[in-house]
Amino acid sequence: MSNGVLTAGDMRALDELTETILANGPLVAFTGAGISTDSGIPDYRGKNGLWTTGSAQPVTYEEFMEDEERRLSWWRELPERLENQRQVEPNDGHRALVELEKAGLLGATITQNIDGLHRNAGTHPDRLVELHGNLQTIRCTECGTLWMTRDFLAEFGGRTTPPPCPVCGGIVKNGTIAFGQPMPVEELKLAFAIAEETGVMLVVGSTLLVNPAARVPAIAKAAGATLAIVNLGETALDAYADVRLEAPAAPALVYLAAQVLERHEAPARESR
């Protein structure tokens, strides 16, 4: 791989993966930060990622819950952050997965990302599992009620302090999972169940270092699925991968989707 271009070896590997998908589907995609870098969102744990370079200073769940000033700061910055998120668009990698889903070849997309770009690209909500939540939502930490951020701000944005939950009076925060916050049980159970049933698990843009989310591909592999990994940099499951590409996410997904769709549709054309 060089400058976002696939090598001949990459394309051969993706051609072989195409045949595996058509023979052994359903396909499930498991995505991490690497799929969104072409949308201008920095990687997290990659070579130059926010975590690796020390650029990220995340607020822990405990800090948010115990420090009123942190909650005030979050609330003051929320409108600007929402506007910035609106300006980030899905890239060709997100759209390639949507094409596979619409053709009935991608059963589900399970993502660690909180950017909402899969949903914005057109991934059907019923086929999307956002393990770490979504920045475009607000959730009550007590009762779990969820709102779209734009709707919540439309009702309460005139306040100088964050409102208590309109349902139970609890503390509200971004609908994402902060460090130290328990994972959403239902989403995790659903992801594990999907992994146990899939024939091909395609990991894209994840180092697979963050658990329990990273257990999803491992569960699929243990259940007999083909494990394919497309990532720039090592991952925790490289030794177990049936297909491993050191390649950029968007070009790899665009090429793979084109090959899968072409070969999937060819028999129908030939029978006409």
Assigned domain for 216 exists: yes
Same-domain check for residues 234 and 148: no
Beta-carbon count within 10 A of 226 CB = 21
Assigned domain for 49 exists: no
Same-domain check for residues 259 and 241: yes
Q: Is 229 helix (H, G, I), strand (E, B) or coil?
A: strand
Quickly tell me which residue has 């130290």 as its tokens.
180
Determine the Cα–Cα distance for residues 108 and 105; give it in Å rounded to an integer.
9
Same-domain check for residues 194 and 217: yes
Beta-carbon count within 10 A of 36 CB = 28
**Helix ranges restricted to H, 59-121:** 61-66, 68-86, 92-102, 117-121
* 132 has catalytic annotation: yes
Determine the Cα–Cα distance for residues 262 and 259; give it in Å rounded to an integer.
5
Residue 106 host element (H or E): strand 106-111
Domain enclosing residue 156, as ranges: 54-87+133-176
Same-domain check for residues 172 and 261: no
Assigned domain for 31 exists: yes
Assigned domain for 46 exists: no
Instruction: Supply the pLDDT for residue 270.
Output: 53
Assigned domain for 48 exists: no
Total-model pTM: 0.89
User: Each residue's pLDDT tens digit in the chain (272 positions)?
Assistant: 334 689 999 999 999 999 999 999 889 999 999 999 999 998 765 555 444 434 456 889 999 999 999 999 999 999 999 999 889 999 999 999 999 999 999 999 999 999 999 999 999 999 999 999 999 999 999 999 999 999 999 999 999 999 999 999 999 999 999 999 988 889 999 999 999 999 999 999 999 999 899 999 999 999 999 999 999 999 999 999 999 999 999 999 999 999 999 999 876 555 55
Number of domains observed in the structure of the chain: 2
Please name which of 28, 29, 21 lies closest in space to residue 263, comparing C-alpha atoms.
21
Name the catalytic one among 94, 118, 124, 132.
132
Q: What is the CATH number of the domain that holds 168?
A: 3.30.1600.10
